[in-house]
Amino acid sequence: MMLNAIFDIDRSPISGKVSEATIDTAKSMELIYSEGNCDYFLESVSERIGRLYENPELPASALFTDMPPCKFKLGKMNILGEYWSEEFQIKYYPQDPELLKITEIHERFHAIHHLTPDTRNKVWVNFAKTDPFYKELLAQLFTWIYIRDFHTNLKDVFRRLNETQPFIYKTFRIFKQYNEAQAEELYWIIRNREMNHPVIKALNHLVNMTNPKTIEKAVFNGIRKTINRFREQPFLYFTESDLHASLSNDIMEGNSDILVMGKTLAERKTIKTPVSLVHHEYPTNFRYEKKKLKVGYTLEEVEQTTIEGTYGDRGNYDLAVLSPEFVNRVFEDNKAKELNEILGHIINKDISNAISRTRKEELIFAIEVKFIHLFNARNIQMLHEVLSDNEKLHLAIHHQHCTRAINLVFCSSGEKKRRVSDPVIAMIRDSIAKYTHPGIINVFIESFIDAGDKKNTAKPTISANAAGWSDFTDLLD
């Protein structure tokens, strides 16, 4: 059924439902890679799944105590394609022409897996929230079977590509001998979340083995903690600085192993002193005028905001998370220099240092925060500040200073009427709901005491571009 859907797209569950688009700008993300050849490791997983079939009462962990060696590390990959299930759209990113056909097959299988109806004629409702481990395993397995059995001219290209891919894209090798019927059976086992099935027990253990903490997860979970605490107890926070401190503490808590570099003796060979990746008031690598942020920059005006120019001044982000690649690069490129001079590049106060560095994406996250409370809820300036923060983050994305940008607006006041216009809070909430820049997400969080002394907590309002941020927004449900 699913392989035929690729052959005959008009009769597939995605016919007329899924659009495809080519994106000119490259996109990257951090994923887990295996160090060296881990084929023996994957073959052993396959054999151990067989043992669980023979003795389903065994805990999966008992079979993974003497696994063949396979080390894992974080690495950055350029994404070839994405299926956005919320928008029913496949996006293709820049890649070698010989890879495009494989990417098309892979992404179309994602869409087919999402939209294939079950016995109740329902699509895979929880597809977006399913762990990427399982979605990529299935898409790769079906892609492999299709190429192996029907499109053999692509086998060599597929194998060469797969050798360079993150571990998640190699897990299909556990089931590489499967035929179409067996692959479809695996699909339904995963989709139906048969938690006691031997395959799921083994794969869940493998997920835990190969899914260490990442900086993105630490940041998203830290933000989630502050948001949830604010929604439950908004008057723990009196000032915007209280929120800044809460966010950085929640992001750092339990994550110093990935958010502080140079802690171990091994790291000290490159990073000469411990360096935190999380900082308040971190300088921008572009210039701007505050009054222009309110109204927004035209395309022509944006080009005047480079750090090398004389237009405007540098600003600061409320919160920034540095890229470990940036920190490593600064130490590597300046190893002959004194430590204070090296740290000067990372601290980024000296504009001449910033100008001398030519490589981009020095930050993983740039985060802006606004706090609306009882004493500024009528002030139209708060709307202007939210819009200005979005424009600053737009410049950060344009100048490639950061990979992702977040604008958080916390509100501990109910709407206060104004004589000449709608309440400021309503205008801010509306502007956030309509915000669409793909690299920046806006979240409006409100929790307040109403006129009857009851706490009123609304569901967070998330900007209209949230489809590309499911790894974050799913945590806010």
Domain count for the chain, please give it: 2
Terminal CA-to-CA distance of the chain, rounded, Å? 34
Point out the domain boundary residue: 154, 186, 209: 209
Per-residue burial over 282-318, b = 16 or more CB atoms within 10 Å of its CB, e = otherwise: bbbbbbbeeebbeeebeeeebebbebeeeebeebebb
Residue-level pLDDT at 9:
47
Same domain, 251 and 369: yes
Same domain, 222 and 186: no
359, 346, 213, 349: which is closest to 272 by C-alpha?
346
Provide the domain limits for residue 366.
Answer: 215-476
Instruction: Kindly indicate the confidence band of residue 470, based on its pLDDT and cuts at 50, 70 and 90.
Output: confident
Q: How many CA atoms, within 13 angstroms, populate the side-chain half-sphere of residue 242?
A: 13
Higher pLDDT, 416 or 106: 106
Same domain, 193 and 323: no
Query: What is the sign, positive or negative, of the torsion defined by CA atoms of 389, 395, 397, 401?
Result: negative
Residue-level pLDDT at 165:
94
DSSP notation for 383-419: HHHHHHHHHHHHHHHHTTSEEEEEEEEEE-S-----S
Amino acid letter for position 167: F
Residues 422 and 359: their CA atoms lie apart, in Å, by 45
Same domain, 252 and 235: yes
- Tens digit of each residue's pLDDT (9 = 90 or more) over 352-399: 999 998 878 899 999 999 999 999 999 999 999 999 999 999 999 999
Per-residue burial over 145-157, b = 16 or more CB atoms within 10 Å of its CB, e = otherwise: bbbeeebeebeee
Residues 193 and 338: their CA atoms lie apart, in Å, by 56
Same domain, 380 and 312: yes
Token couple for 61: 């962990």
Residue-level pLDDT at 60:
64
Q: How far is CA 246 from the centre of its chain?
A: 21
Same domain, 241 and 381: yes
Average pLDDT, integer, range 5-26 = 75
Higher pLDDT, 397 or 6: 397
Residues 26 and 30: their CA atoms lie apart, in Å, by 14
The region of weakest confidence among 169-173, 272-276, 391-395, 465-469 is 465-469
DSSP annotation of 254: T
Average pLDDT, integer, range 248-276 = 87
Same domain, 234 and 198: no
- Percent of the chain whose pLDDT exceeds 90: 61
> Over the Cα atoms of the chain, what is R_g?
25
- The pTM (predicted TM-score) of the whole model is 0.61
Same domain, 267 and 160: no
Residues shown for the chain? 477
Residues 184 and 299: their CA atoms lie apart, in Å, by 49
Average pLDDT, integer, range 268-282 = 92
The answer to whether the CB of 313 falls within 8 A of the CB of 288 is yes
446, 399, 7, 466: which is closest to 232 by C-alpha?
446
Point out the domain boundary residue: 209, 225, 258: 209
Same domain, 253 and 160: no
The answer to whether the CB of 395 falls within 8 A of the CB of 440 is no
Q: Would you state the torsion angle of the CA atoms of residues 287, 288, 289, 292, taken in this order, to the nearest 10 degrees? A: 170
Residues 90 and 99: their CA atoms lie apart, in Å, by 16
Same domain, 173 and 158: yes
Query: What is the sign, positive or negative, of the torsion defined by CA atoms of 271, 273, 279, 284?
Result: negative
Residue-level pLDDT at 254:
85
Beta partners for 400? none
- Tens digit of each residue's pLDDT (9 = 90 or more) over 437-450: 878 999 999 999 99
Dihedrals φ, ψ of 131, to 5°?
-55, 130
Point out the domain boundary residue: 209, 227, 242: 209
232, 178, 128: which is closest to 472 by C-alpha?
128
Instruction: Kindly indicate the confidence band of residue 193, based on its pLDDT and cuts at 50, 70 and 90.
Output: confident
Average pLDDT, integer, range 280-308 = 92
Residues 362 and 147: their CA atoms lie apart, in Å, by 39
- Tens digit of each residue's pLDDT (9 = 90 or more) over 318-330: 999 999 889 988 9
Q: Above 90 in pLDDT, residue 54?
A: no
Residue-level pLDDT at 62:
64
Residues 37 and 22: their CA atoms lie apart, in Å, by 33
Query: What is the sign, positive or negative, of the torsion defined by CA atoms of 112, 118, 122, 126?
Result: negative
Amino acid letter for position 382: M
Same domain, 264 and 186: no
Same domain, 194 and 225: no
Helices marked H in 151-295 = 155-163, 180-191, 198-209, 215-232, 240-252, 256-259, 290-295
